Amino acid sequence: MEATTTEQHAHGEVRHVLLPGRHHLVTRFQADYLRRLLAGEEVDASGRPVVCAPDARVVWALTSATHSGTRRNPLPAHRREAIIERVGAAEGAEPLVVPVADVPPSARFAHTVLGTVELTLGLRLTPADTVVACSTEGVAAMWAALGFRIAPVEAGHPDEPARPWDVLELAVAGDDRWRELVHPAALAVYDRYGLVEAVRTAHLDPTVSAEGDLTETRDYRSYTADFDGASDRKWAQVGPHVRPGRVVDLGCAAGGLLERAAADPRLAESDLYGVDVSRHLVAEAQHRKAQGVFANPNVFFAQRNLLTAPVFPDATVSTTTTVALTHEIASYGAGRADLELLARRIFAHTAPGGVWINSDVLGPEGGDRVVHLHLDGPVDLDAGPADLGTRQRADVEAHVAALSPAARLLQFAHDFPALSGGACDVRWVDAGDARAGKPAVAELTLRAAMEFLCTRDYVSSWLSECHERFCDMTWPDWVELLEAAGFELEPASGAWRNDWLVEHRLSVGARLVDPASGDDLPWPDTHVLSVARRPG
């Protein structure tokens, strides 16, 4: 199909076809469509012929290139780029691939892509020489608003061809029709690297959000700072029990604990692995490695979830550490059942004589016992808790920070069950009188009281923390679980009470009281350290 001289003058000869997208695979239809488009056999969205120069090139804008391992973006950019290159080679049309960093939804998305193309390739794409191939209505509208012509690809096609994401979902579902719809060169890459399993794992992981994390309410800056700040103390606790060899930190966050391990002369010949489900934290850890933070060069990071599949071969790990992780696994997954699965997986990858070192919060023994919790007021029982679910993080922080200890329990008793599934049934015995120095008195279980007291000071991440249950497991629960998995507990293992936490956090404006006698109750153990060894 040829355009008239007037049409060529009005629209310009197309020198570039811009194809923006995440490109987790390329379909047969896409390749056929691009071949016809370059040959002048297609029209744009308004029905006008698209006339391409003989040397016109396809620019593949690989969006969300810095985002992987999630349902939204299961494959890393280098695999997606390899697929595009292989398809281009098979089609005899060398592609130009431009990775575009992941950005939040923005009306300026098209500007971001254009700027990245110009910076990467030195090409300034304009409406005069470029047509945008895009079937997504909202995205196409952004380009049209800038004056670009749109080649609709699958949109409006009478055969209603499957789009790449539809084909990917067929693969996840185990429907072999996807193998007929995907381009053969793309299929070869998928088969060679086992990419279907990687995509399926990301799609079907029940504990991780579409963005690749346990929760969408986490403030990573404060979370990382808190974890880093505690790393010296945590390493002092777990470090003496680490066996050299292959050392794995599960739930590594941004690598704070491994930074200490990398500086330990005992581990100079060891390989150190950090594994976390959060893409944000793994990306930060890899950035730190690139900056030379780790003294040991053999430090590696990976975004994985041990609950969905083994990460290491059997009997190959000398030490596994989990610090402040197991309560998160229980909170966001299937509770104790997931901890039992975790224990079996860690036992399987632990070498004989190797250890799993776990440090975390702990629930009180006798947690079903009813206690009275005396709290500084006031608390307005008539007003009730606020609905914080629709508020911005800063507004939530300001609201919770302004609450008295008693009013904060009222809010917690609303948010904690809704977000974590845990129980916090409160009967208010007395609303208190702040002017008279009379505390509010709440009747609840010891477990619910400790859940509240361990959470109440996290005002900057209130909703995120209310997702988590701190008190699911007691020390007898841990002994039973670890021994059932096949581990033997070393003498350093046991429950302990963090007296600094009691003095500076738990007891501030709060007392645990026996309802019958009115006497103060001793503060229960708050943490666990277990050093579990695989026999042999």
At 386-443, the pLDDT tens digits run 999 889 999 999 999 999 999 999 999 999 999 999 999 999 999 998 788 899 999 9
Residue 303 has pLDDT above 90, yes or no: no
Per-residue CA distances from 510 to 216, 224, 234, 435, 521 (Å): 31, 29, 27, 17, 12
C-beta of residue 317 within 8 angstroms of C-beta of residue 350:
yes
Give pLDDT, residue 229.
64
Residue 183 has pLDDT above 90, yes or no: yes
Give pLDDT, residue 218.
46
Residue 12 has pLDDT above 70, yes or no: no
Residue 3 has pLDDT above 60, yes or no: no
When the pLDDT of each residue in the chain is averaged and rounded to a whole number, the result is: 91
Where in the chain are the domains?
A: 5-204, 220-361, 370-465
| Mean pLDDT on 225-252 | 88
| Mean pLDDT on 45-64 | 96
Residue 4 has pLDDT above 50, yes or no: no
Give pLDDT, residue 205.
56
Give pLDDT, residue 445.
98
Interior/surface letters 346-378, b for 16+ CB within 10 angstroms, e for the rest: bbbbbbeebbbbbbbbbbbeebeeebbbbbbbb
Of the candidate CATH numbers 3.10.129.10, 3.30.70.20, 3.40.50.620, 3.30.70.920, the domain formed by 5-204 belongs to 3.40.50.620
| Mean pLDDT on 448-453 | 98
For 6-15, 34-43, 351-360, which range has the lowest pLDDT when averaged over its residues? 6-15
Give pLDDT, residue 226.
57
Task: Kindly indicate the confidence band of residue 1, based on its pLDDT and cuts at 50, 70 and 90.
Answer: very low
Give pLDDT, residue 435.
82
* Architecture of the domain defined by 220-361: 3-Layer(aba) Sandwich (3.40)
pLDDT, tens digit (0-9, with 9 covering 90-100), for 240-298:
999 999 999 999 999 999 999 999 999 999 999 999 988 888 889 999 999 999 999 88
Task: Kindly indicate the confidence band of residue 113, based on its pLDDT and cuts at 50, 70 and 90.
Answer: very high
Give pLDDT, residue 2.
36
Q: Please report, to the nearest 10 degrees, the dihedral formed by the alpha carbons of residues 110, 85, 58, 112 taken in order.
A: 10
For 276-280, 329-333, 385-389, 466-470, which range has the lowest pLDDT when averaged over its residues? 276-280
Per-residue CA distances from 381 to 295, 350, 402, 511 (Å): 55, 52, 16, 20
Give pLDDT, residue 68.
78
Residue 275 has φ and ψ, to the nearest 5°, of: -130, 130
CA-derived radius of gyration, the chain: 29
Q: How far apart are CA 123 and CA 114, in angstroms?
A: 9
Residues 6+ apart with CB under 8 A from 536: 352, 353
Give pLDDT, residue 304.
86
pLDDT, tens digit (0-9, with 9 covering 90-100), for 502-533:
999 999 999 999 999 999 999 999 999 999 99
Beta-bridge mates of residue 433? 438
Give pLDDT, residue 201.
76
Percent of the chain with pLDDT over 70: 93
Task: Kindly indicate the confidence band of residue 358, based on its pLDDT and cuts at 50, 70 and 90.
Answer: very high
